[in-house]
Structure 1
């Protein structure tokens, strides 16, 4: 399957599987808690699972201690192999979260003269001022060699590719060399790069990165629904069209770092956000629980992210929104050309917007309205395929 045709279910495994994040560490085979959800993901039509950090770490997973070891709170190599095999059996690809910008300050590289960026006094440079995270020195060839080795190790174990955490903070030529070397052994490897602001397509240019997180579109979707101002979305769609003409955008309305869409706009408007997600160009990913109208608003301090990273056991049963997601995923699977379609806004008012996507002689027309409730209508080549009103 081509990269652009995938639909990802995004999971933050430590919290999703009920692992302690800051409490006393208790090893276990918690990754097995995801196994029943693999079948549900496949039945819903997802083609892949995007896993947040699974490597041995200090606390939240983005503070890595050992890239070659599964976090003992989730299990071991055997448990991971069982998970990947279950996904493969169901036809579901797996992408891992690669944190290659920084490591935990407790990482052996810090104390053993490894490839760590240091200040004039020889102290490790903290990532964005966080003293618990030590930045890697990407000018040191040992970092490149290590990242290539790590990536190939897990690709050999059956994964499909990598999400590159804070890819925007790593030199572009570093990614170009790494992706080229990895694809010498694994030509089909997928690379998704995280970028927050700026020219998203630029990150993909010449780096070997397949798709880039489109935060600007995410913000415009929820903000335009919350404020009932679709002119904001119109502006973002114009930029999304331009970015998409040069690279594939990873589109989303939720992830492990942002407030839950249902908490921000309410469930009916969250349904409209989902319709937009699946009828726009890009590589859509769904953050676990958003399809079930999960709630959560980020807080402050060390526990800020906890509300948006729940345990799977805490998610509500599937309801009407989940049925809409399944409908939209099947629509997207039936029309994979949408990923690289051209995009135009046909009409816009404060509470109404209609946009169209075209490719290969096909057209999807999406109409969203906040007049007298929440309404979404989608036509494909003139046929009415989605009708939502609440």
Structure 2
């Protein structure tokens, strides 16, 4: 009997071997247990991975660790059939601190992935984890976004031009700036649309400079189309760093309804932007992490929510009450860090000095949640 080779190993063994190159298969994306804050959990995860800090002048450690799976897809049909589903478990470019690499190119990656899952539904169903990094959106180009949006909508059976014609404006700064939101969307898809000189000038300006209002809107719409194509998406993250001039604004309320998406399969949601439309459709959500963004309001019922972690936010009395009331029986962990001030240059966040007193006065809210096992209120 000859020595075993890669080609004649059982599929189950190959899956275990190839899975060692996938963060999802290694359990990295699973929520850690305990009452730690978001920052403490991030530090614990980094310590477990025993990885050196990403240096800007070096290649992205994440892209290097993904390279074996890419190579295995090219070795043979059998290794491809095993490696490809694992490769598509996650789309988390820039994961951890790997986004700091200046040797990494973000160009075209979001549009390319969106088009791939639109054309290959067999691969779309393997995607479990998606992380939308601001740098993915900062480099979105008009033409590539237009093609990806059209192909993504077509895969869902949606006539995007017809659907966008019926869209109503959302009350965000970018959409008000553009004057007529549906007109902007339609003209983006159909460049032959005729406008008055004033409207045409406004629409042209919307894409005239990086992170202009038009680019911000289209980048967010592209993220919505991607999410809508993933039937088994378990975790969605809007990854730091997001700033006021980032290309991802508030998630548009009318985007998912016009894609005929009434529910999302999410179990974990990490929010760095206002995303009430996602919360409204993620009724099976179990873990919610929110930091550095406007607090969603009103909070929809979240009957399956077990863990809430909030960082770098100050909640009003009514916001805290509405959040806890929306959790209807399964909440186990509640971690809240208030923020007093932000020192932008050093990115230092200090807990509000009055937070412990402020929360103690509202401890009557917590006993009303019979399943809660612990809480940290800072």
Q: Which TM-score tier does this pair reach, normalised by the shorter chain?
A: 0.3 to 0.5
Higher-RCO chain (CA-CA 8 Å, sequence separation at least 6): 1
TM-score by length of 1: 0.34
